[in-house]
Homo-oligomer: A and B are copies of this chain.
């Protein structure tokens, strides 16, 4: 059996981020008129994601995805090629209609993540972005066709890589979401 490709950027170990984390230009996979998106500032919460909606490189079971403030994200070339994958989704994923690469995904509705845009840092024109910190929605890769018998090995590989695997988001982010909900519902007041 061939080895499951988790993601090309960390298949053979995590490359530590350059530390600068100053954003850059995201470019889609088109050779003709590629879409370019400028991220003017650092990214945060970079992680591997197994959800069925995140864009993944060819053959990979996981995406690598992070957030930036939406005000720091702007399409600078060939915006006419962008289409929204699913307008009903929380994350408004804007994909290149030609090559399919997801270029930016703002959260616009009222939500703990409102004002953030999800981007794939591997599309940046530099390697100064921080490495992923955990793996989210790991069990979801079964819904994309990974055999359940592979899951034990995949979770073990993530732990070996130093990426703690979760079937939702990380505890810190899950607590953040719950805190937002508690405040919205008047349960917490600070």
Contact = CB atoms under 8 A, between A and B. Distances in A.
A155 interface: yes
Contact of A187 (B145, B169, B182, B185): B145
Interface of A: 138-145, 147-148, 151, 155, 165-169, 171, 174-175, 177-179, 181-182, 185, 187-188
19 contacts: A139-B171, A139-B174, A139-B175, A139-B177, A142-B175, A142-B178, A142-B188, A143-B178, A145-B182, A145-B187, A145-B188, A148-B175, A151-B171, A165-B171, A166-B167, A167-B168, A167-B171, A167-B174, A168-B168
Contacts of A174: 138-139, 167
B139 A178 contact: yes
Contacts of A147: 188
A151 B175 CA distance: 8
Contacts of A145: 182, 187-188
A182 B142 CA distance: 7
A185 to B, nearest CB: 7
A12 B178 CA distance: 27
Contacts of A142: 175, 178-179, 181-182, 188
A179 B147 CA distance: 8
Contact of A148 (B143, B144, B167, B179): B179
A111 to B, nearest CB: 15
A156 to B, nearest CB: 11
A138 B179 CA distance: 12
A27 B51 CA distance: 42
A151 B174 CA distance: 11
